[in-house]
Amino acid sequence: MQKTTETKSLLDMKSGAIKERVDYEMKKIIDNILDPNTDPTAKRKLKLTVEFIPSGDREDVIFRTEVTSNLAPTVKISSQLVFAKTGDGVMVYEPTAQVPGQLNADGEEQSEPAILKLMA
């Protein structure tokens, strides 16, 4: 009985390393989609590039693969800084939602505003 050779996909070559790289980049894409710091509707890309380099005598070909992903960047964060003149110069701080020490509807006390450290 003659043994038949099993044919495989190019993606199965190199002992499955190409598929492993695709899965690795896919995990990065899924993590990026689930990251609350990114735009949930931004497009992500998985790119598989295969380069073929034939020998001069056309007896064989070397192939190289590259698997990359383009992820969504983190969303921009914005806030407000307020300037207040003091006897020592200017104080810069991030305003709070309500008066520091005041209780909100959930019973939580408003903390003091974050004051920006200015380098001389």
pLDDT in tens, 41-70: 999 999 999 999 999 999 999 999 999 999
Residue that wins the pLDDT comparison between 1 and 7: 7
Residue that wins the pLDDT comparison between 47 and 82: 47
* 38 and 62 both lie in a single domain: yes
Total number of domains constituting the chain: 2
* 20 and 64 both lie in a single domain: yes
- For residue 82, list its beta bridge partners: 93
pLDDT attached to residue 109: 85
**pLDDT surpasses 80 at 1:** no
pLDDT attached to residue 22: 95
**pLDDT surpasses 90 at 98:** no
Q: Give this prediction's pTM.
A: 0.67
Q: Reduce the DSSP state of residue 49 to 3 states and report it.
A: strand
pLDDT, one tens digit per residue, over 67-81 is: 999 999 999 988 888
Query: What domain range includes position 30?
Result: 10-70
* 61 and 100 both lie in a single domain: no
Q: By C-alpha distance, which of 69, 51, 52, 70 is closest to 61?
A: 52
Instruction: Give the amino acid at 12.
Output: D
